[in-house]
Each structure stands twice: as structure tokens, then as C-alpha cells.
């Protein structure tokens, strides 16, 4: 006899088939991922609910066996007729009015056999159900029946429903009575035969199960364990312990066993009434570390996950079995309506907030790790079931207000390891790579306010534009903070780095900003100019290898390009303007050419001090610049020392040389006389002026008519124009005196004979000569005029003296007299009167007839001795006293001579003193003291005494190093020398050298200015050996200085042994 009422069956089956037809059709057509995940939870929920009803004191265990088919088994359950009818007809069999149950008391069941169970047919439309059947109070049978939803029409579904009942009846008819069933056995089984699509859905559901199962087991006490068997792998989840941290906070411990291998899982759990929250943690030596949620994990549970709430971004999982879900069961209504179920849901969310704040405070105070997971407070994404406005005002704002005042941020600053969120600066970018770059840059400024670098990958997904701007630290704020420091110096102080380290840091920042948002470089000044001052990108020029010396010179002229030129150590290639050496040369030359700037002289002298480096290939240019500088240095004492340009071209000196020569000639002319010029220059001005004129003409440096400038001395030492002077072709000074006595100052028209001009200079200046013939003509003309005038008047004493000089000259220079004074020579008697002749004869007789016995020669010698060199001795002095007096004079002479040798001239220039140091290879204060002691009392010692211990020996050291380097390079090119073991025994002595496989030592000395000193004892000792060589270097040639050369150079022709 059928257990089922056959009269009502057909009508009920038809109604059921119609509902199933609609639902199964919707299910087949749906591609929603939620449905594919839901089947496993429906089975778990049914198992838990059935056990709770049938065995309220027991906990259900569940086994899922998944291979080519899927079996779902659980214990502590059996079927009743109502259950079977509900399963077959897909209607609730345990429906309860939940409104009669207090929301503070956990309900016995979560769901019911109804709409949810149908989702399991996604695995397979045909299911085999096995279990125990309770016939009456004490009678149990085995039951097996199919659930077939494969029909594509209503009639087919009706037939399959009828078949299910028939199979159930037949199964029960064939079953033996089970008198004492073991309910702890897995008696209830659902078997799903799987095709390829069914296996895919099975995998999706089981993945979701592993993700959310621990939470379900945490929220529900009714499930003891869940075992999953798949592909020879057995996984068992079992809750084993619960311990309290506080009255509200508990740690739930799970065992997860995989093929017997134990893994511990821990979850933090808080509850108030039926509302609870949960999140995963790890525990290591009592250190609790919060773990992240699976992205596909449902964030709201009704004991079981409410699939579809994965984007409800509350920081913890919320659970309450009395939450009212939407009909698709993919969310809970949190809309702006005042419906009771909406208000009810909002109340539960607020309860969850209270629990969360308790957890937040405890976790922060107890230094839990990964606290950033508690800051996941994005707005949820719910399609129609949530009011964003309500959530922002009533949930998000409350969470964030409390988060902002919580110390949940760990830093990398050892002094401030933990700070409040509101005090934090979060590197702000959509890209993790960029955020990490921002952190790397910002740490130099704000290490005590930045999250730990390793946490950035988490914070970047949590802190967005909806958080307060004060905690968002993007590229713009980084740039603004650097710009506020104004200069490299201030930035260096702020980040506690050296200038070079700061520039390296700043370069990387600028390159990063230029790549990410180059406009910021135009809006904020963070690129340093060449003074280290921060400028905006659009304000700067690119410096294309302009020498610093030229930039300094332009600055002297009042236009400081370094303010606008980018710092050379900062790399920014796309500046709008590039300045080259040609640009700065053109600017400098323009200012010099205009000749209005009051600083032109200073700038010109600095330009003249600039020179190309000494090089064989440009020796002409180098020598030219050196000579111009020497001229400037001689005349203008404020001329800077010579310095070398790394980058140059000839145009640098195009205008400065013209201006310099013009100004130099003008300033020389202002001296008026050679005496004043000599006093100013303190040197031989004749030689200097000769060198100047010859040089500027030879090098074509003249831009003015030098012939019209008073820079050349006449023979009266007055500075005159070349155009007013003649070249003296050996005119006798006596003739010049005679002509001057005759009233014609011939010397004022003649170039001083101490001036030496070369042929090219004379030709260029168009200087005409004056010779003996020219002056003879002038003298003859004037003498003849006097002679003619004597007819009417007598000869004056002045004329007598003049004629006497001329007469003697004609007598002493008879050949010249015949050639140039033929008329006067032939009638020279006219130059002497009879009275003068007679007086001269009588004077000579008186002299020669002196009573003291002086000869004519002795008288001449006495007359030619200056008076101040004559000494009159007393008549009573003895010969012995005379001899003693002479001996004392000789001693005084020797002493004077020695003093003259030992005292260096005060005229020695710094360059000459520097050359002495170089020749002696003195490269340190200690060696200077030794040399001063060694040469004390000598001329050299006096020179060394003028040099201070504070002297900068860098130049000497560099020249000595140059000599050694040049010699070594030269020897490396010679096959007979092997310098592999080169070793410097002292500053100038080298050992480890082999010559033709024979060990030798070298003494290496610079030979600049063609001088070499042997000063150190180590050098003498080394050169005493027969296996030694003395090498010299002048930066042009490297050679051995042999003994023969030394003897020839020094003039030594005998050696005392």
C-alpha cells in the first residue's frame, strides 16, 4: 500500500511540476556565478537543519566525495513522508513562521527544503537520494529514489515526479525494517552524476566551500566537521577550541587536516546577541597577525554565506541569522525606505559597527600586526539593495573617524614605530610601483609619518580619494614639500645628507616627476640652478658644457647665467632652452664691444687669465694666451692667476684682447715718462715695452693706430707717439749734445736706443730713420749761421764751448768728419779763435810742469776718479797702519759679497718661489722645514725662508706626479724596460724596474724651466749605485740625464776623488 495519498498526488504533482518547470528553466538560462557557488551551501544548510530538527543535541558531520560523480553525505538525519514530498515537489517541508521567534534567540533552522535546494541541480539534473525513512515512531526503513529534473516540458516533469514517488514506494516496500539504526553513520546521501559542465560547477562550489567554511563553522555550533575527498586528497575541517581574549573577543581554533597533515587556522570572533563579526588571523608566539579575506568571500553571513555580498566592504565578516535577504538572496536591504525589515537590517549593521570598534581598540592597543586590513572601508557595491548615502553617513564615516584616531600604522622609524592614521602620509597613486617610488623619496622627509614600505602594497588599495586629503601623499605633495625648502643646502640639512648625496636624491626625484607628471616641474621649483637654488623647469636653461670661468666673468658683468642654468649634476634633458659656449661668448663679447659696463676691466682681466690647457697640438694658442696674460699681469696687479678651460674656442678672446690692448696703451700713455712707468712696473721698462710692441704687431692684436699713442720713450725718457719719432741709426751722443747746445733738441725726436724693435714692427709702424748725415746737416747749418753772424759781433762763451766740442769730435772722428761734415772739416780752424788756442797751450804746459812729479797719465787717471772715491791720508800714518787698513777693507768686502749671495732678492715672484719648490721636489710642510734647515745661510735657504708652512703644495705634487706618470708611460713603450713591479720608495725614487732583465732604480725629476735639483739623500744614495738612472720630464720630452750631460751643463771638468 502506498505511503502517499494517491488521490491528492496527481493534483499536487501537477502544481509542483509547474513551479519546478519555471525555476529549473530560469536556472538553466542563468549564467550567474552566484548560482554555481550556492549549491554546496544549500546541501550544508539542509544537513544542519535536518540534524537540528531530528537530533537537537547532536552535531552533524558531513562528507563530500568528489570524483567522477559527487556524493554529499551527513549523519544524524532521516526522512519523513513530509520530507520526501518536499524534496520531490520542491516545496518547504519544515516551514516555520519566523515572526513568532525572537530575534535574540538563535532559530533552530536556517532555511528550508524549498527554492534553494533546486540550485543543486546545476550539478546534475538527475540526483539519487538515499537515506533512512521513519515510518512511525519506532520503525525505520531504507529509502532510495531519484530526483529527475531533466524534462523540457511540463508533462515530462509531471512524469518524473510521479516516477520519483513510485521509486520511493517501491524502495520502501523492498526495505527491511531497521530495528536499531546507528544515526552517527552517514546515512543520508545525495549522489550527483556529473558531466563536464557539472564538474566545472562542482569545482566552483568546492572552492567557495574551502574559502567560507571556517566562518560558517564559527557562526554555527551545529556542524562538527566537514570532510572533502577529491582526487585522492582528503581535507577535514573541524573546530576544536575557543578561548577568550576579553569578555567580547574570542579566538576560534580549527584543525585543517590534509591527508593527515595538520594545519592550524585561527579566527577572531566577537558577538552581541545574535550579531557577530569574524576575521582570520595567525598566531605565532602570542603575536596575532590579521590575515586578508579571499576576494570571492561573501562579507555577510546568515550563518551561511550570503553569496553576492563580496563587495560589501565592511572590514570584518558580519553574521546574523535574522538579517532579511533580498529575494535572489544576494544581499540585504539597506535602502532609504522605512520598511521594518530595512530598519531591522540597519540595526544589525550598527551592532556590527559597535563590535568592530571594540576589536579595533583592542587590536591597536595590543600591537596586532597587519592592522591595515581593519581599514578596508570602501563604499559597498550593491545593485539596488543598499543606499550609498546611508552607508557613507552611518557606517563609513563612523568607521573612519575611529580609524583616524587609532594607532594602527606601523612605520620604519625606530623612534616612532607606530602612529595614528590621521598623522600618516600615505603614498598616493593607483600604481603600486609609483607608490613605492613616492615612499622611497618621501622617507627622506617623513620617515616617521610613512607606513612601513612593505605595507604599501596593502594600503594602496585601501586609501583612496574619499579619505581626508591630509593623509594622501601624492607626487604633488612630495614636490611641494621639496620646493618649500628652496635650495639644495636646506634640503641637505632636512634629509641629513651630504651635498653630493642630496643631488643624487634630487636627480632621481626630478626624473620620476618628469616621467609621471612633468607639469609639476613647471609649477613647483625643485630643480636646482648652479647655485643650488630651486627653480621651476620653465625658468631654467640647459648648460651645454659652458666653462665655469666664463659664467663667472659674465656674472662680473652683471648677468649671472648660473641663476638660470640647471645644476650640472641634475639630469633634465628636455629643457626648452640650451645655452652653449658660443652663446655666452657672444654675450660677453657684446658687452665688451659696447664698452658701457663699469666692470669691463675686471672681466677682461679674468678672460685673459683663461687659457687652453698646455698641449702639443695647440702650443701656438697656448703660448699666445700665456704671453697676453704675462703682459696683463705685469701692468695690472689685480690680474688673476692663469687658469685652464676645459672647453674653449678662439672667439673667447676676440673682443677682450682688443679692449685690453687699447686700454693698456692708454694706461701706459698716462704714465708720461719712463721714470714713472719704471716705478710702476718695478722692472726694465725698455725691454718690456719692446716686447709689448713687437708682440702686439706680430700677433695682429692692434685695433688702434699705435703710431698715434704715447707709449714709446724718446731719448729724454718721455713717452711719445711713434709718429713723432725717428729710429736712431747710431748717431753719436756727442753730436746730439752739440745740436742740443745749438738749440735743437734732437733727442726728443729719436726713439730711445734701449727700445729694440724688430724689422716687422719698424715696417708696420713706418718709422723713418735718422742718421749721422741728418744730424750733421742740422749742425752744419746752425754753425754756418753763427760763423756768418760773427762778422757783425764777437763769439760768445757759449758758442766757444759748442765749437770746442765740435772741433774735438771732428778731430777724433776724422773719417766721419770728412764724410758728413766736409765743409766744417775742411775749415775747422774757424772753430777755434787764436785766443783759445794760446790759452790751451799755456794750461797744458802748467799741468805738465807740476812740482809733484805727476806724469800726464797719472794726471788723467786722477781727473777721471770721482771725488767721493778719493781719500786723503794724514801725513803721520805709518806703513803698518796702511797695510792693516787695507786688510780690514778686504774682510768687509768678502762679508758684503757673502751677504749679497745669501740674501734672496725681494723681487722673487710667487711663480719663481713655486719653481724652487718644484725643482727641489718639496711637496709637504715637513719637507719644506727640512730644506730650510739644510740650506740655511745660503741664497737658496733665504728663498725657502720666504715660503710659509701653509703654502698650498697641490701644484708641486701634481707636477711631480705628472713627471712620474709621463716617464712610466714612456718606459712602458720601450721593450728593454719592464715596469710591472713599479714601486715608489720615496717621492722621486722608484724601484722594481728591470732593464734588459737587470734590476735598476730610477730617480725622476721634473725639468720645467730647464732646472733640476738633487735634494733628497734618498736620491743621492740611489744614484750612487751603478744600476741607477736619472730621468727628467718637462711634459714634452722624457729622457735620461747622463753624467756627460751633467758635466757639460755644470761646467765641471775635474772631479776630486
DSSP, residue by residue, 78-104: -B-HHHHHHHHHT--SS---GGGS-TT
Per residue in 101-118, pLDDT tens?
556 677 777 764 456 788
Q: Coil, strand or helix: which one is 806?
A: helix
Please say whether the dihedral angle defined by the alpha carbons of residues 619, 622, 628 and 634, taken in this order, is positive or negative.
negative
Distance separating alpha carbons of residues 746 and 739, to the nearest angstrom: 7
Angle at 347 between CA 345 and CA 353, to 5 degrees: 110
Domain ranges of the chain: 1-231, 236-406, 542-669, 773-848, 910-1050
Task: Tabulate helix, strand, coil % of the chain (nearest 5).
Answer: 50, 15, 35
Dihedral Cα 309, 311, 313, 316, nearest 10 deg: 50
pLDDT of residue 390: 96
pLDDT of residue 383: 73
Q: Coil, strand or helix: which one is 61?
A: strand
The dotted CATH code for 1-231 is: 3.30.565
Please say whether the beta carbons of 272 and 354 come within 8 A: yes
Per residue in 383-408, pLDDT tens?
789 999 999 999 999 999 999 999 99
What are the residue ranges in the chain where pLDDT is below 70?
1-9, 31, 92-104, 111-115, 382, 703-704, 792, 834, 860, 862-908, 911, 918-919, 933-939, 941-942, 945-946, 948-950, 952, 1009, 1015, 1048-1049, 1051-1057
Question: 3-class secondary structure for 364-427?
Answer: HHCCCECHHHHHCCCCCCCCCCECHHHHHHHHHHHHHHHHHCCCCEECCCCCCCEECHHHCCEE
The model carries a pTM of 0.66
Give the Å distances, CA to CA, from 936 to 285, 912, 929, 951: 81, 19, 10, 19
Give the Å distances, CA to CA, from 20 to 87, 89, 164: 11, 8, 14
Please say whether the beta carbons of 34 and 308 come within 8 A: yes
* Average model confidence (pLDDT) across the chain: 88
Distance separating alpha carbons of residues 400 and 467, to the nearest angstrom: 8
Please say whether the beta carbons of 201 and 66 come within 8 A: no
Please say whether the beta carbons of 935 and 941 come within 8 A: yes
Dihedral Cα 505, 509, 514, 518, nearest 10 deg: -130
Amino acid at each position: 500500500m502506498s505511503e502517499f495519498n494517491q488521490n491528492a498526488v496527481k493534483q499536487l504533482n501537477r502544481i509542483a511540476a509547474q513551479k519546478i518547470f519555471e525555476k529549473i528553466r530560469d536556472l538553466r538560462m542563468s549564467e550567474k556565478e552566484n548560482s554555481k557557488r550556492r549549491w554546496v551551501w544549500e546541501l550544508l544548510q539542509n544537513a544542519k537543519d535536518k540534524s537540528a530538527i531530528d537530533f537537537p543535541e547532536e552535531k552533524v558531520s558531513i562528507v563530500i566525495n568528489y570524483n567522477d560523480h559527487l556524493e554529499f553525505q551527513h549523519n544524524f538525519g532521516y526522512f519523513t513522508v513530509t520530507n520526501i514530498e518536499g524534496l520531490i515537489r520542491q516545496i518547504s517541508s519544515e516551514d516555520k513562521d519566523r515572526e513568532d521567534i525572537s530575534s535574540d534567540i538563535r532559530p533552530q533552522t536556517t532555511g528550508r527544503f524549498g527554492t534553494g535546494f533546486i540550485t543543486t541541480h546545476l550539478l546534475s539534473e538527475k540526483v539519487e537520494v538515499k537515506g533512512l525513512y521513519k515510518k512511525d515512531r519506532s520503525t525505520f526503513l531504507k529509502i532510495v529514489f531519484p530526483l529527475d529534473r531533466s524534462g523540457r516540458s511540463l508533462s515530462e516533469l509531471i512524469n518524473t515526479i510521479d516516477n520519483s514517488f513510485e521509486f520511493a514506494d517501491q524502495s520502501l516496500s523492498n526495505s527491511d525494517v531497521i530495528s536499531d539504526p546507528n544515526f552517527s553513520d552517514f546515512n543520508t546521501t545525495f549522489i550527483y552524476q556529473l558531466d563536464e559542465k557539472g564538474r566545472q560547477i562542482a569545482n566552483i562550489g568546492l572552492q567557495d566551500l574551502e574559502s567560507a567554511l571556517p566562518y560558517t563553522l564559527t557562526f554555527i555550533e551545529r556542524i562538527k566537521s566537514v570532510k572533502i575527498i577529491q582526487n585522492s586528497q582528503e581535507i577535514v575541517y573541524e573546530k576544536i577550541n575557543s578561548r577568550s581574549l576579553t569578555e567580547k573577543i574570542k579566538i576560534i581554533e580549527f584543525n585543517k587536516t590534509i591527508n593527515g597533515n595538520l594545519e592550524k587556522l585561527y579566527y577572531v570572533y566577537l558577538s552581541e546577541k545574535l550579531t557577530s563579526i569574524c576575521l582570520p588571523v595567525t598566531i605565532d608566539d602570542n603575536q596575532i597577525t590579521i590575515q586578508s579575506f579571499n576576494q570571492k568571500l561573501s562579507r555577510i553571513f546568515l550563518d551561511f554565506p550570503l553569496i553576492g555580498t563580496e563587495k560589501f566592504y565592511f572590514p570584518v565578516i558580519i553574521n546574523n541569522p535574522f538579517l532579511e535577504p533580498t529575494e535572489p538572496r544576494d544581499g540585504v536591504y539597506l535602502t532609504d525606505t522605512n520598511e521594518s525589515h530595512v530598519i531591522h537590517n540597519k540595526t544589525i549593521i550598527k551592532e556590527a559597527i559597535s563590535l568592530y570598534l571594540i576589536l579595533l581598540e583592542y587590536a591597536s592597543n595590543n600591537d596586532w600586526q597587519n592592522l591595515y586590513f581593519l581599514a578596508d572601508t570602501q563604499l559597498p557595491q550593491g545593485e539596488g539593495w543598499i543606499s550609498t548615502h546611508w552607508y557613507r553617513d552611518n557606517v563609513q564615516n563612523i568607521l573612519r573617524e575611529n580609524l583616524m584616531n587609532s594607532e594602527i600604522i606601523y612605520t620604519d622609524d625606530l623612534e616612532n614605530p607606530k602612529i595614528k592614521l590621521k598623522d600618516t602620509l600615505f603614498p598616493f597613486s593607483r600604481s603600486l610601483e609609483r607608490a613605492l617610488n613616492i615612499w622611497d623619496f618621501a622617507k627622506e622627509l617623513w620617515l616617521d609619518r610613512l607606513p612601513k614600505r612593505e605595507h604599501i602594497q596593502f594600503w594602496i588599495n585601501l586609501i583612496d580619494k574619499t579619505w581626508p586629503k591630509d593623509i594622501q601623499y601624492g607626487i604633488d605633495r612630495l614636490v611641494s614639500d621639496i620646493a618649500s625648502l628652496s635650495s639644495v643646502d636646506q634640503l641637505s640639512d632636512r634629509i641629513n645628507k651630504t651635498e653630493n648625496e642630496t643631488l643624487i636624491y634630487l636627480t632621481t626625484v626630478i626624473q620620476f616627476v618628469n616621467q609621471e607628471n612633468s607639469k609639476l616641474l613647471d609649477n613647483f621649483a625643485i630643480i636646482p640652478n648652479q647655485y643650488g637654488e630651486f627653480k621651476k623647469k620653465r625658468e631654467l636653461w640647459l648648460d651645454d658644457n659652458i666653462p665655469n670661468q666664463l659664467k663667472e666673468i659674465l656674472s662680473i658683468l652683471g648677468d649671472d647665467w648660473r641663476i638660470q642654468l640647471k645644476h650640472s649634476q641634475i639630469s633634465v634633458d628636455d629643457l626648452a632652452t640650451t645655452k652653449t659656449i658660443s652663446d655666452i661668448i657672444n654675450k660677453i663679447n657684446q658687452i665688451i664691444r659696447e664698452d658701457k659696463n663699469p666692470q669691463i676691466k675686471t672681466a677682461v682681466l679674468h678672460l685673459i687669465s683663461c687659457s687652453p690647457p698646455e698641449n702639443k697640438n695647440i702650443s701656438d694658442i697656448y703660448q699666445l694666451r700665456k704671453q697676453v696674460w704675462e703682459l696683463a699681469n705685469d701692468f695690472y696687479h689685480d690680474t688673476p692667476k692663469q687658469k685652464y678651460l676645459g672647453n674653449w674656442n678662439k672667439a673667447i678672446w676676440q673682443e677682450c684682447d682688443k679692449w685690453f690692448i687699447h686700454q693698456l696703451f692708454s694706461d701706459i700713455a698716462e704714465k708720461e715718462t719712463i721714470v714713472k712707468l719704471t716705478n710702476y712696473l718695478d722692472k726694465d721698462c725698455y725691454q718690456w715695452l719692446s716686447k709689448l710692441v713687437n708682440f702686439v704687431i706680430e700677433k695682429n692684436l692692434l685695433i688702434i693706430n699705435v703710431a698715434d699713442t704715447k707709449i714709446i720713450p724718446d731719448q729724454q725718457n718721455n713717452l711719445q707717439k711713434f709718429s713723432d719719432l725717428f729710429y736712431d741709426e747710431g748717431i753719436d751722443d756727442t753730436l746730439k749734445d752739440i745740436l742740443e747746445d745749438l738749440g735743437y733738441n734732437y733727442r726728443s725726436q729719436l726713439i730711445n736706443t734701449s727700445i729694440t724693435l724688430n724689422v716687422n714692427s719698424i715696417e708696420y709702424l713706418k718709422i723713418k730713420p735718422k742718421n749721422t748725415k741728418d744730424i750733421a746737416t742740422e749742425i752744419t747749418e746752425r754753425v754756418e749761421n753763427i760763423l756768418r753772424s760773427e762778422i757783425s759781433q764777437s763769439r760768445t762763451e757759449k758758442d766757444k764751448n759748442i765749437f770746442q766740442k765740435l772741433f774735438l769730435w771732428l778731430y777724433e772722428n776724422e773719417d766721419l768728419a770728412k764724410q758728413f761734415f766736409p765743409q766744417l772739416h775742411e775749415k775747422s780752424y774757424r772753430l777755434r779763435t787764436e785766443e783759445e788756442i794760446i790759452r790751451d797751450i799755456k794750461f797744458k804746459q802748467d799741468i805738465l810742469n807740476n812740482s809733484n812729479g805727476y806724469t800726464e797719465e797719472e794726471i788723467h787717471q786722477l781727473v777721471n776718479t770721482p771725488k767721493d772715491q778719493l781719500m786723503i791720508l794724514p801725513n803721520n800714518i805709518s806703513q803698518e797702519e796702511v797695510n792693516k787698513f787695507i786688510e780690514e777693507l778686504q774682510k768687509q768686502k768678502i762679508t758684503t759679497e757673502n751677504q749679497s749671495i745669501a740674501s734672496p732678492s725681494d723681487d722673487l715672484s710667487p711663480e719663481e718661489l713655486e719653481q724652487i719648490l718644484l725643482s727641489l721636489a718639496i711637496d709637504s710642510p715637513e719637507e719644506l722645514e727640512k730644506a730650510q734647515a739644510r740650506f740655511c745661510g745660503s741664497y737658496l735657504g733665504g728663498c725657502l725662508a720666504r715660503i710659509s708652512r701653509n703654502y698650498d703644495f697641490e701644484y708641486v705634487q701634481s707636477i711631480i706626479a705628472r713627471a712620474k706618470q709621463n716617464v712610466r708611460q714612456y718606459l712602458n713603450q720601450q721593450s728593454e724596460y719592464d715596469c710591472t713591479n713599479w714601486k715608489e720608495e720615496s717621492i722621486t725614487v722608484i724601484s722594481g724596474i728591470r732593464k734588459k732583465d737587470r734590476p735598476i732604480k730610477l730617480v725622476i725629476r721634473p725639468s720645467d724651466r730647464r732646472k733640476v735639483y738633487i735634494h733628497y739623500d734618498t736620491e743621492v744614495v740611489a744614484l750612487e749605485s751603478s744600476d741607477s738612472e736619472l730621468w727628467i720630464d718637462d711634459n714634452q720630452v722624457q729622457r735620461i740625464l747622463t753624467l756627460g750631460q751633467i758635466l757639460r751643463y755644470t761646467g765641471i771638468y775635474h772631479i776630486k776623488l
